[in-house]
Each structure stands twice: as C-alpha cells, then as structure tokens.
Amino acid sequence: MSADDSYEVFAIRYGHHPRPASANFLGGDPHDGNMPLDYFVWAIVGRSGTVIIDTGFDEAVGARRGRQTTKPVREGLASIGVDPNTVENVIVSHLHYDHSGNYDLFPRARYHLQDREMAYATGRCMCHPVIGNSFEPDYVVAMIRKVFAGRVAFHDGEDRIAPGITVHHIGGHTKGLQCVRVNTARGPVVLASDATHLYAHMDGGRVFPTVYNVADVLEGYATLRKLAPTARHIVPGHDPLVLTRYPAAKPGLEGWVARLDVEPAA
Ligand SMILES: [Zn+2]
Ligand SMILES: [Zn+2]
C-alpha cells in the first residue's frame, strides 16, 4: 500500500432527531431515557479525489418527517473544502430517505450501489408501508434515472471503489445495505452506516426497529468486526457520540464535522 492509498475521513453531521431510547431498539428499552439520533454523510479525501458516502435528506423532506436539519449537507462539505461539482464517486450505503436525498448535489458523480438494494427499493417489499415508509419515492426514482443516464455502478457483495476503499454487503437493516472500509494512517476504518446505528447496537447485540432481516443485522456486527482491526475502527451511522469521541476536523467545526482517521478518545 502506498501513501496514495491512505485517506483522511470525515463524519459530517447534517440532521438531528430527539427520541426516546425505546424508539431505537427492537423490543424497546428498559430505561427509556432520551436517546437522540444524529444524521451524517461521510467524506473520504485523498490525493486522487474525494469519495462521498451517502447524500442525506433535503430540508423539506426532513421537515415533513419531523427531522431537524442542523446544517445542510452542502454547507458541511464546504466547511472542509469539498466542492460537490468535482466529486466523481458517491457510495450509497442504502436507499433509505436519510441516505439518498439531495440527488442533484453531485452532477458529475457516479453512484455506487448494491444490486440487492435497488431490487429491494423497487420491488415487492415496497408494497408494505411498514417497509416502504423509510424510502422516499422521489429519491428512488432519481436513482433509477441515474441508472439510465449511465451514472450508477452496481456491486454484488464485496468490491473495490478505489485503491484502499472497498464496499461490503451487510444486508439486515435493508436487503442491500453496504458498509465501507477505507485505509487511513491508523489502519482501516469501517464506516458502518446503518449496519450499526449506535455503538449500543453492536456492543449490546441489539437491533434497530427498522429491519429487513434480524439475523442478518446480528451477523452484520460480526462482519464489521472482521473488517476492522479493533472496535475503535468501526464508526456507527447515527450515534451522537461520534462527535464527542473524535476531534473536530478543525477549530469551529465542533459538533458538526469530525475527523475519523485519527484515534478516538476512550
Ligand atoms: Zn437506514
Ligand atoms: Zn439511517
């Protein structure tokens, strides 16, 4: 591996949702205090360009769904000098509304998606509101339009996006959920996205209530651990603790943009 294949990695918070802990776990939670979710996109920055993971929701859809937009995704990217017009690769972990909106933000990008996720989001499972409600039809249609425009690269299981950046099918939460593994100066970092919403899910063997297959969620925690050298190299998809454990990308970005390629605090 050359130095060219080692990246800086950022978690960029764009949204927030206060909620009781019982809303975060299948079967509820015995303590049931406040346990909010944060909403993130991630940026992988290296010499050969920037790879974005997920595109968030836009403010209108967030508001309709009762989610607060803390900072629009575009502003988060700008805070670390990422111009969306120059981004050539976007990895979509899965097609839930909070990961696949802002679909016009990256006009030049190719979108990387698992075969199974597109089949899931356009097939019979969407006939069931309890599953389909987590998808935004306009966002799914926008991805279909990108397919016909030649702007989607499909992956089946594990694949390489760039030197030192790979995707890995996990499933569970959605049928085609994928996580991302990226080489950094502290070793490979695994961006779990919704393969574990919070540290508490993976650490406790617990399951977020939005789910396609419970067993695959639980097996997914083992997959994350196999992909990462230690648990400290796994970054959950919605945990506010990410912004306290990792340092701000630079002064002034505290609580907004964190640097993931450096060791987290305990
Ligand atoms: Zn999700
Ligand atoms: Zn999510």
Task: Tell me which amino acid residue 244 is.
Answer: T
Q: 40 CA to middle of ligand 2, Å?
A: 8
Residue 126: pLDDT band with limits 50, 70, 90: very high
The whole-model pTM stands at 0.97
Could you read off the pLDDT of 52-61 as tens digits, one per residue?
999 999 999 9
Task: Tell me which amino acid residue 198 is.
Answer: L
Residue 105 pLDDT exceeds 80? yes
Could you read off the pLDDT of 38-97 as tens digits, one per residue?
999 999 999 878 999 999 999 999 999 999 999 999 999 999 999 999 999 999 999 999
Q: 214 CA to middle of ligand 1, Å?
A: 14
Spatial contact of 194 and 150, defined as CB atoms under 8 Å apart: no
State the ligand closest to the CA atom of 174: 1
Which residues hold their Cβ within 5 A of ligand 2, which is an ion?
98, 194
Question: In the numeric block, which tokens belong to residue 36?
Answer: 């909010």
Spatial contact of 79 and 249, defined as CB atoms under 8 Å apart: yes
Which residues hold their Cβ within 5 A of ligand 1, which is an ion?
96, 194
Residue 3 pLDDT exceeds 80? no
Residue 239 pLDDT exceeds 70? yes
Residue 2: pLDDT band with limits 50, 70, 90: low
